[in-house]
Amino acid sequence: MSALLDVKNVRVKYGNIEALKGISFTVQSGEIISLIGANGAGKSTTLRTISGLLTPVSGEVVWQGKPIHHMKPHDIVKLGLLQSPEGRGIFANLSVLENLEMGAYTRKDSKEAITKDLENVYLLFPRIKERLRQQAGTLSGGEQQMLAISRALMGRPKLLLLDEPSLGLAPQIVETIFSIIKKINSEGTTILLVEQNAFQALKISHRGYVVETGEIVLSGKGSDLLVDPKVREAYLGG
């Protein structure tokens, strides 16, 4: 079976600095895949490249058999790849509802379908519903993360790209967010997750890749990586 997303030997540079030194991995339909690694390893750069914010100097990003690495970000969104970016990417000057509407920006289907998806989002995150009219910048960190994920869901993603959803959140909220990510996946959305919180990420992932200084150094099933001695030592505190 051909992969939903196939990242082939991608190299990305910021000026003279090589941030990705030939990264390859695949995402199959229905999976949760996590990229784990330390700060600065190149995880966010990978997501930014997949979404078209960065262009690789060599290598390919292939989506359902078609190369997309020269496409503009807004066209990639139309293919069904939606990202909740690093730092959540909330439009603080827009209301919560307007943020959700931006997630559905490219959709051409009926208003009813969008309203129905809004209802689904409220089911996942009841707190979002209470804050619809509020400026998004006034939300707490956890609520902003919920909004960022909800907003990406409003675009009906085939692949949901999540960049550090646990960053800066209290432990209980991290638990909630991860259980919801799992739920979203069980309802049929494929997920590519980037995390420093290796334990939480691997626990819900089908497969994982360990990224170090722009390269993939290890890969395997989520459950295998969780017990891998090298992973335990480097990312799970021994």
Binding residues for another protein (CB under 8 A): 51-53, 72-74, 77-78, 82-83, 85, 89, 91-94, 98, 101-103, 105-106, 151, 155
- Using only C-alpha atoms, the chain has a radius of gyration, in whole angstroms, of 17
**With respect to another protein, which residue has the nearer C-beta, 156 or 182?**
156
Please state the closest distance from residue 89 (CB atom) to another protein, in A.
4
Q: In what order do the strands lie in the sheet with 159-163?
A: 81-84, 159-163, 190-195, 32-36, 207-212, 215-221
Which of 47, 173 has the CB closer to another protein? 47
42: left (phi over 0), alpha (psi -120 to 50) or beta: left
Output 37 or 52, the one with its CB closest to another protein: 52
Least distance from another protein to the Cβ atom of residue 105, Å? 5
Shortest gap between Cβ of 210 and another protein (angstroms)? 26
Coil vs helix vs strand at 18: strand
DSSP symbols for 43-94:
HHHHHHHHTTSS--SEEEEEETTEE-TTS-HHHHHHTTEEEE-TTTT--TTS
Say if residues 156 and 37 touch (Cβ distance below 8 Å): no
For another protein, which is the closer residue by CB, 105 or 227?
105
Sign of the CA dihedral 34, 35, 37, 39?
negative
CA distance 215 to 219: 11
Q: Which whole-number Å values give the CA distances from 118 to 16, 101, 133, 196, in the listed order? A: 44, 9, 14, 30
Minimum distance from residue 151 beta carbon to another protein (Å): 8
Other Cβ atoms less than 10 A from the Cβ of 194: the count is 25
Q: Cβ closer to another protein: 44 or 200?
A: 44
* Pick 43 or 151: Cβ nearer another protein: 151
How far apart are CB 44 and another protein at their closest, in Å?
12
- The nearest distance, CB 49 to another protein, in angstroms, is 13
